[in-house]
A and B are shown apart, each in its own frame.
Chain A
Amino acid sequence: MQVTYAGFPYLSAILLCCVVGLLVIIFIPEERKTLIRWVSAIFSGITLVLSAYLFFAYDKSLGGLQFVERFQWVPSLGIHYFNAADGFNLPNLFLTGIVFFTGVLTMWGLEMRVKEFYALYFLLVAGVFGLFMSMDLFFIFIWYDVSLFPMYLLIAIWGSTRKEYGAMKLTLYLLAGSALILPAIIYLFAKSGLNTFDIVSLMQPGIFSSDQQKFAFPLLYLGFGILAGVWPFHTWSPVGHVAAPTGVSMVHAGVLMKIGAFGVLRVAIFLCPEGWKYWAELMAFLAAAGIIYGALVGLRQTDLKYVIGYSSVSHMGIVGLGLSTVTAEGLNGAVFQMFAHGVMTALLFSSVGYIYDRTHTKMIPELGGLSRIMPVASAYFIVGALASMGVPGLANFWGELMVFIAAIRVYPVRGIVAVLALVVTALFMLRVVQKTFYGPRHERYAQLPDISFYESIPRMILILVLVLFGLYPSLLVDLIQTASIPFMSGLPR
């Protein structure tokens, strides 16, 4: 078998951490819950360190694919185990590391079926990491499904509010996405005549005719788009977020939805650039509709998690809008927004998780005045809410700014309408903050303790990341540009 890799296989090491962690957890007896938590924290911590290392060690002056690992898997079908890092997937790998680690810490207080929870959680994250780093269509599909099926059990067993319905809806919707993706992938494989699933070989210009690209693109776009919460296929997402337990919501909204957007970028746009140009108008329309719809529906919600769920639909619409501009700036903004939104939703869900665990409600009318009872815990949520509004100084500002600059240039009307929808987002986020954390305080909750320092750690990490990239956006933008500018200039005009 032909093997290629340059230096230490960092990417495989990340995957291996998840798999080894999973196996170690399986062999620890159920009763030793603390040990299970520590093992999970250590292994997820290693993945965070590795992904952060890759993020900063990537040579921006060189660009292109780095840390390449490639060897043949099934030669007769042209399947390769092919991992590589570039400017598009490194932010997402880093994001996954952050959310994974903070998610494990957030779920520290879990008492029910701890072992199974962490085992499934590791499996889920292994799929996510795998998808982000893979450059082979076959493996992308495998990882896509690996990251889906643990969701059913994670939500149905540990969730709340209509958990079985939410879990089933989510799983079937996302599987329906894969029902579009797999035929499209095999179609491209068969039409290329190269007998390979390797994306780098398949993305060379001239392999697929214009009609083939126009045919395959919508299938891939909708298939992955369902996971990205593209309107009108977003309905699984708020329901699923609400039903899921905190740590799973974090991974789910923070990372899993990014898989969808990333799949659109890596598979649909990379392989079918002409299809991308052809369908861009439709993408922009659906994205703008999602932004507005998410904001307006979010306005009416009374459940904290539903509010975040619909704001996610709206924010993922911004990612979609960035992708639909067919410009390098749009791609930069979209990837930046994926990263920023991931960290921000993780923070919001993590904060709501703390509140829910103490008050046992997430209904806004039942809460109120929480900032006087648990000032620190409230502060975390408020920072998340500010980020969600796009306040300068936090990472989300830059993502939204870049996307809107690109979008208004290309689609003036849709761009401006989408910007207006952001005002609505700001409105409902402020309303939620006001009703939940200010106003008269409820005596029922007066005795509740504030968040402890240790419980704060995951939230602090997330805020730190938001502020870091809010103040130094060039850390991220420079990295993304190493991929987006060559990609756009390589496209046939």
Chain B
Amino acid sequence: MKWMAFAPEIYYLLAALWFLVLSLVARPDARREHLTSLFLAVLGVIVCLAAVKSEGVLFVNAYRVDLFSQVFKVMLSLGLFLIVCICGQLTDIKERNRHDFYVLLFVCTLAMMLLVSGNHLLTIYISLELSSYSLYILVALRRDRDFGLEAGIKYFLVGIFASAVMIFGLAILYGTARVTYLDEMMKVLPELINRPAVIIGLLLTLSGFFFKLAVFPFHIWAPDVYQGSMNQVAAYIATASKVAAIAVLARVVASAGQGSTYLIHVLVVLSIVSMTIGNLAAIVQQDLKRLLAYSTIAHAGYVLIGILSMNSAGYAGAVFYAMALLVMKFTVFLVVVEVACDGRNIQIEHLAGLHRRSPMLALALMVSLFSLAGIPPTIGFTGKFLVFVAAMEKGYFTLVLIAMINVVVSLYYYLLVIKAAYLLEPKEELPPLRPSPPIKLLSCVMVVVMIVAGLFPYYLIELAEAAVRAL
């Protein structure tokens, strides 16, 4: 029965294998592949929900299943499901690659699930690599070879650099603290945390996750990769991949107990620089995906505020923020995918006249951007509010003030996008967009979720707090 706790991972492995077999034997058929993947993704959500209460340790304590990991697995499976929803028209990928696309998507989700449950540093490292390698290929799969390959290679180079740094950090950490299991680290580290070698080892270890989350100084890949990869893959990187990164970051930082002032100072600086760079650079972007990439960097900074607070309120805030990011970033990408129906990159000015071409999509775009900007009553505001409260409990007043100033800066470029959608008129008359009914329903649901979760965050906050208690 112990293996039941492992059910989601087994399920996603089988699903990935299923597509692998299909790619060998079946003829490409876009509609059938999409429906199959949709079915498998829905089933995956159900499996994860069924396994949400399970607990236990597996593989000689290297793998831990607890509420924290299970909540994140549900989020990841939901993320996969949402991404698969917008894969109805994979125009930007060669026909013969479509099976590979789904294989990699499921493998990547599997890897992230392994990541959030990892209890041994090597488990974490290996699953991190597995998810990264899937993403490198996904990015490079774009039909426009130069664009996709360039982005894939950039992503790859920065990624292997980050993992090399991480391995170095792991070595230092082991050399000084003699631990590799997270639960042992939790006992040993708080006493050793003021040793320079431990802090350096821990920070270098965290770099691997900073790369995933696009925190300064490991953020440089984000704009190019978002721009170069196909819209759906960029959406996946912006949502599911970030969720997993937040989870593992929270888990590893939590093992450091109360932390040391040096560690916290470094994290504070990284957080401030990330959000400032992200927001300032986003102002001048014309390509919508590049803009979203920079906004992701800024959001990484906000999430870091919750994590560096190193109290349960902060981790709960980060968990809530992960949920918020999943919903709001996805909604923006949903609009991007629908507007760019042939899979091209869209500039901000291409949104002109959206309010007439499709009022529903325009509304979804507006609500999700206000949510990203952190305007109440949306889920994005609640996320920011929670991490700010956590930081203030630790007395980081200046940090919160700087973050709020950043919020004002970010509102400027979000408003530019909203202005394009609601005010500007296209140069030549464009036909109305007719999103399919499921997509319309999906965007409607997303809008409702963002607002309702902003107005009644009670249950989600409870959930986040319960998950954090398992840390």
User: Residue on B with the closest CB to A163?
Assistant: B423
* Inter-chain contact A187/B415, CB cutoff 8 Å: no
Residue of A138, A145, A157 near B375 (CB, 8 A) is: A145
Task: Say yes or no: A152-B461 contact (C-beta < 8 A), given A142-B377, A179-B405, A186-B388.
Answer: no
Neighbouring B residues of A189 by C-beta, 8 Å: 389, 392
Neighbouring B residues of A343 by C-beta, 8 Å: none
- Mask for A154-190, Cβ within 8 A of B = 1, else 0? 0011000000100010011001101110110011011
How far does the alpha carbon of A142 sit from the alpha carbon of B378 in the complex, in Å?
Answer: 10
Neighbouring A residues of B385 by C-beta, 8 Å: 138, 182, 186
Neighbouring B residues of A116 by C-beta, 8 Å: 355
Task: Say yes or no: A152-B415 contact (C-beta < 8 A), given A186-B400, A190-B393.
Answer: yes
* Inter-chain contact A164/B423, CB cutoff 8 Å: yes
- Mask for A73-87, Cβ within 8 A of B = 1, else 0? 111110000000000
Q: Which among B376, B389, B397, B456 has the greatest number of chain A C-beta atoms within 10 A?
A: B376
Q: Tell me how far the C-beta of A4 lies from the nearest C-beta in chain B, rounded to whole angstroms.
A: 18
Q: Tell me how far the C-beta of B425 lies from the nearest C-beta in chain A, rounded to whole angstroms.
A: 12
A233 within 8 A of B: no
- Mask for B361-405, Cβ within 8 A of A = 1, else 0? 000000000100001110001000100110011010100110011
* Inter-chain contact A149/B375, CB cutoff 8 Å: yes
Q: Tell me how far the C-beta of B428 lies from the nearest C-beta in chain A, rounded to whole angstroms.
A: 21
Given A157-B423, A172-B408, A186-B388, 15 other A-B contacts at CB below 8 A? A74-B458, A142-B376, A148-B375, A149-B370, A149-B375, A152-B415, A152-B418, A153-B418, A157-B422, A172-B412, A175-B407, A178-B404, A180-B401, A190-B389, A190-B395
Q: Tell me how far the C-beta of A76 lies from the nearest C-beta in chain B, rounded to whole angstroms.
A: 6
* Inter-chain contact A183/B457, CB cutoff 8 Å: no
Q: How many residues of A contact B (CB 8 A)?
A: 32
User: Residue on B with the closest CB to A75?
Assistant: B458
Q: Which among A138, A152, A164, A182 has the greatest number of chain B C-beta atoms within 10 A?
A: A182
Q: Which B residues lie at the A interface, using CB under 8 A?
A: 355, 370, 375-377, 381, 385, 388-389, 392-393, 395, 397, 400-401, 404-405, 407-408, 411-412, 415, 418-419, 422-423, 456-458, 461-462, 465
Task: Say yes or no: A141-B376 contact (C-beta < 8 A), given A156-B419, A189-B389.
Answer: yes
How far does the alpha carbon of A111 sit from the alpha carbon of B418 in the complex, in Å?
Answer: 22
* Inter-chain contact B401/A186, CB cutoff 8 Å: no
* Inter-chain contact A171/B461, CB cutoff 8 Å: no
How far does the alpha carbon of A182 sit from the alpha carbon of B385 in the complex, in Å?
Answer: 9
Residue of A168, A178, A179, A186 near B389 (CB, 8 A) is: A186
How far does the alpha carbon of A132 sit from the alpha carbon of B225 in the complex, in Å?
Answer: 47
Q: Tell me how far the C-beta of A127 lies from the nearest C-beta in chain B, rounded to whole angstroms.
A: 9
Q: Tell me how far the C-beta of B79 lies from the nearest C-beta in chain A, rounded to whole angstroms.
A: 25
Neighbouring A residues of B392 by C-beta, 8 Å: 183, 186-187, 189-190
How far does the alpha carbon of A186 sit from the alpha carbon of B395 in the complex, in Å?
Answer: 10
Neighbouring A residues of B401 by C-beta, 8 Å: 179-180, 183
User: Residue on B with the closest CB to A219?
Assistant: B401
* Inter-chain contact B457/A74, CB cutoff 8 Å: yes
Neighbouring B residues of A138 by C-beta, 8 Å: 385
* Inter-chain contact A175/B465, CB cutoff 8 Å: no
User: Residue on B with the closest CB to A193?
Assistant: B393
The A contact surface, by secondary structure, is helix
Q: Return 26 A-B CB contacts under 8 Å, by A number.
A: A76-B465, A77-B461, A116-B355, A142-B381, A145-B375, A149-B375, A152-B415, A156-B419, A156-B422, A157-B422, A164-B419, A172-B412, A175-B408, A176-B408, A179-B404, A182-B400, A182-B404, A183-B392, A183-B397, A186-B385, A186-B388, A186-B392, A186-B400, A187-B392, A189-B389, A190-B389
Neighbouring A residues of B393 by C-beta, 8 Å: 190
Neighbouring A residues of B381 by C-beta, 8 Å: 142, 145
How far does the alpha carbon of A145 sit from the alpha carbon of B374 in the complex, in Å?
Answer: 10
Q: Tell me how far the C-beta of B178 lies from the nearest C-beta in chain A, rounded to whole angstroms.
A: 38
Neighbouring B residues of A297 by C-beta, 8 Å: none
Q: Tell me how far the C-beta of B271 lies from the nearest C-beta in chain A, rounded to whole angstroms.
A: 15
Task: Say yes or no: A183-B404 contact (C-beta < 8 A), given A74-B458, A152-B418, A168-B415.
Answer: yes
How far does the alpha carbon of A179 sit from the alpha carbon of B412 in the complex, in Å?
Answer: 14
How far does the alpha carbon of A149 sit from the alpha carbon of B397 in the complex, in Å?
Answer: 26
Neighbouring B residues of A76 by C-beta, 8 Å: 461-462, 465
Neighbouring B residues of A171 by C-beta, 8 Å: 411, 415
- Mask for A45-85, Cβ within 8 A of B = 1, else 0? 00000000000000000000000000001111100000000
How far does the alpha carbon of A153 sit from the alpha carbon of B375 in the complex, in Å?
Answer: 15
A374 within 8 A of B: no
How far does the alpha carbon of A142 sit from the alpha carbon of B407 in the complex, in Å?
Answer: 15
A424 within 8 A of B: no
A286 within 8 A of B: no
User: Residue on B with the closest CB to A173?
Assistant: B408
* Inter-chain contact A183/B400, CB cutoff 8 Å: yes
Neighbouring B residues of A75 by C-beta, 8 Å: 458
Neighbouring A residues of B389 by C-beta, 8 Å: 77, 186, 189-190
User: Residue on A with the closest CB to B389?
Assistant: A186
A391 within 8 A of B: no
User: Residue on A with the closest CB to B411?
Assistant: A175
How far does the alpha carbon of A157 sit from the alpha carbon of B425 in the complex, in Å?
Answer: 12
* Inter-chain contact A183/B388, CB cutoff 8 Å: yes
Neighbouring B residues of A363 by C-beta, 8 Å: none
Neighbouring B residues of A153 by C-beta, 8 Å: 418, 422
User: Residue on A with the closest CB to B423?
Assistant: A156
Neighbouring B residues of A176 by C-beta, 8 Å: 405, 408
User: Residue on A with the closest CB to B398?
Assistant: A183
Residue of B397, B407, B419 near A179 (CB, 8 A) is: B407
User: Residue on B with the closest CB to A30?
Assistant: B359
Neighbouring A residues of B395 by C-beta, 8 Å: 190
A146 within 8 A of B: yes
How far does the alpha carbon of A187 sit from the alpha carbon of B411 in the complex, in Å?
Answer: 23
Q: Tell me how far the C-beta of B305 lies from the nearest C-beta in chain A, rounded to whole angstroms.
A: 12
Neighbouring B residues of A175 by C-beta, 8 Å: 407-408, 411
Neighbouring A residues of B456 by C-beta, 8 Å: 73
User: Residue on A with the closest CB to B355?
Assistant: A116
Neighbouring A residues of B415 by C-beta, 8 Å: 152, 168, 171
How far does the alpha carbon of A179 sit from the alpha carbon of B458 in the complex, in Å?
Answer: 24
Neighbouring A residues of B412 by C-beta, 8 Å: 168, 172
Q: Tell me how far the C-beta of B457 lies from the nearest C-beta in chain A, rounded to whole angstroms.
A: 6
* Inter-chain contact B388/A182, CB cutoff 8 Å: yes
Residue of A73, A142, A172 near B411 (CB, 8 A) is: A172
Q: Tell me how far the C-beta of A72 lies from the nearest C-beta in chain B, rounded to whole angstroms.
A: 9
How far does the alpha carbon of A171 sit from the alpha carbon of B416 in the complex, in Å?
Answer: 12
How far does the alpha carbon of A168 sit from the alpha carbon of B283 in the complex, in Å?
Answer: 14
The list of the 9 closest CB pairs from A to B, nearest first, reads A179-B404, A142-B376, A190-B392, A186-B392, A183-B400, A175-B408, A145-B376, A183-B401, A179-B408
How far does the alpha carbon of A164 sit from the alpha carbon of B415 in the complex, in Å?
Answer: 11
Neighbouring B residues of A148 by C-beta, 8 Å: 375
Q: Tell me how far the C-beta of A420 lies from the nearest C-beta in chain B, rounded to whole angstroms.
A: 37
User: Residue on B with the closest CB to A138?
Assistant: B385
Q: Tell me how far the C-beta of A253 lies from the nearest C-beta in chain B, rounded to whole angstroms.
A: 22
How far does the alpha carbon of A175 sit from the alpha carbon of B417 in the complex, in Å?
Answer: 17
User: Residue on B with the closest CB to A115?
Assistant: B359
How far does the alpha carbon of A74 sit from the alpha carbon of B459 in the complex, in Å?
Answer: 9
Task: Say yes or no: A74-B376 contact (C-beta < 8 A), given A152-B415, A172-B408, A176-B408.
Answer: no
